[in-house]
């Protein structure tokens, strides 16, 4: 195991749900995920945990490029509101860092399908020395 959180297995969880990032830069990330049978709940709609995972992972991806070489981050809290059920399509999660302090950052994610919001999330992340 390496001390570099971006190395080797850092994308293992994203791979499990099929989340791929198409853009990551300081303060912003964009990830996409296709709805598949294995991601649906017993009612035939996307399991809420998938949208949550997209937002949480997107928040880390948006924050990480702006961290110093000796800094790490960890989720303090993510709050999500589910706006519409989804049973098919490609989800897009766009995340922005809205405020970054010395020890805490605040972020927002919008999860959409075909340009329509299906979930919105806000989060706070701890920033600390490694």
pLDDT of residue 1: 34
* pLDDT-derived band at 83, boundaries 50, 70, 90: very high
* pLDDT-derived band at 9, boundaries 50, 70, 90: low
- Over residues 42-77, the pLDDT tens digits come to 999 999 999 999 999 999 999 999 999 999 999 999
pTM as predicted: 0.91
- Over residues 96-125, the pLDDT tens digits come to 999 999 999 999 999 999 999 999 999 999
CATH number at residue 121: 3.10.129.10
Full domain range(s) for residue 36: 18-129
In a domain, 9, yes or no: no
Tokens for 69?
A: 């070489």
pLDDT of residue 11: 76
Answer whether 95's CB lies under 8 Å from 28's CB. Answer: yes
In a domain, 8, yes or no: no
In a domain, 1, yes or no: no
In a domain, 10, yes or no: no
Length of the chain, in residues: 130
In a domain, 57, yes or no: yes
∠ at Cα 51 (50, 52), nearest 5°?
Answer: 90
Structural domains in the chain (count)? 1
- Over residues 13-49, the pLDDT tens digits come to 899 999 999 999 999 999 999 999 999 999 999 999 9
């Amino acid at each position: 195991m390496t001390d570099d959180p971006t190395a080797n297995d850092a994308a293992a969880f994203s791979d499990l749900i099929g989340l791929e990032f198409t853009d990551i830069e300081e303060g912003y990330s964009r990830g996409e995920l296709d709805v598949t049978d294995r991601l649906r709940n017993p009612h035939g709609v996307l399991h809420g945990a998938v949208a949550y995972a997209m937002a949480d992972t997107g928040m880390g991806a948006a924050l990480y490029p702006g961290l110093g070489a000796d800094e790490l981050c960890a989720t303090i809290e993510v709050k999500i509101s589910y706006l519409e059920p989804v049973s098919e399509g490609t989800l897009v999660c766009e995340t922005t860092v809205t405020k970054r302090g010395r020890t805490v950052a605040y972020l927002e994610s919008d999860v959409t399908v075909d340009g329509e919001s299906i979930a919105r999330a806000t989060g706070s992340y701890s920033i600390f020395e490694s």
